Amino acid sequence: MKSEDRNLHTVFDELLNRKDKEKLLSQRGIVIWLTGLSGSGKTTIANHLERRLNSEGIITKLLDGDNIRTGVGNNLGFSTEDRAENIRRIAEVAKLFMNTGIVTICSFISPTKEIRAKARAIIGTADFHEVFINTPLEICEKRDVKGLYQKARAGEITNFTGIGAPYENPDNDYIEIVTNNKTIDDSVTSLYQQIIKKIKWS
């Protein structure tokens, strides 16, 4: 064995793998991918779920527009190509966290089946948990948390999802969470109960 081969062998031998890290943390690293219209409740549910998991000793990472668009995606706009590239980067970042054993919650409108399929392909079907925050458009528009629907209706924002651009509902292999006529706690508890068994280390 040449000396550089021996060095390489040693380096790989010493690398800790995902299972070692999951065991250390006593949890499984998975990706929880929240999709839904603007105002559907993704941010609210992600924040509450993260707090609940943390209070039980589970380490999480939340990826959302705030920490992605200002950093790894800060040279991207909202064209179809840029949206696809943004999702590719998010999925790759999520995978790095997941492979460190961290429960990674991604909160993005991710409006098309194609874009979500791309994220699923990068992360891997077994670890990718798609969660559809299913709130009707009229309710999201009534909530209008950020005043964006009003701007979209006034033509100040073009291609706004649900108004000028489509949102495609998932049609298979997803967890559905409803928020209309539910308390935040109802919605978060429903998601928690469906996801916790995938996180618990046994």
Task: Closer to ligand ADP by CB, 27 or 40: give it.
Answer: 40
Task: Closer to ligand ADP by CB, 27 or 112: give it.
Answer: 112
The answer to whether 178 and 118 are in contact (CB under 8 A) is no
Q: Is 191 helix (H, G, I), strand (E, B) or coil?
A: helix
Query: Which residue among the candidates 40, 110, 190, 202 is catalytic per the annotation?
Result: 110
Residues in touch with ligand ADP (CB under 6 A): 36, 38-45, 143, 145, 179, 182-184, 187
Q: How many CB atoms lie within 10 A of CB 25?
A: 17
Closest residue to ligand ADP: CB criterion: 41
CB of 48 to ligand ADP, least distance (A): 8
CB of 180 to ligand ADP, least distance (A): 7
- Whether 110 sits among the annotated catalytic residues: the reply is yes
Q: How many CB atoms lie within 10 A of CB 189?
A: 15
Q: Give the integer Cα–Cα distance in Å for 62 and 158.
A: 28
Q: Give the integer Cα–Cα distance in Å for 173 and 153.
A: 33
Supply 198's token pair. 């995938």
Amino acid letter for position 114: E
CB of 192 to ligand ADP, least distance (A): 13
Task: Closer to ligand ADP by CB, 28 or 129: give it.
Answer: 129
**Which residues are tagged catalytic?**
110
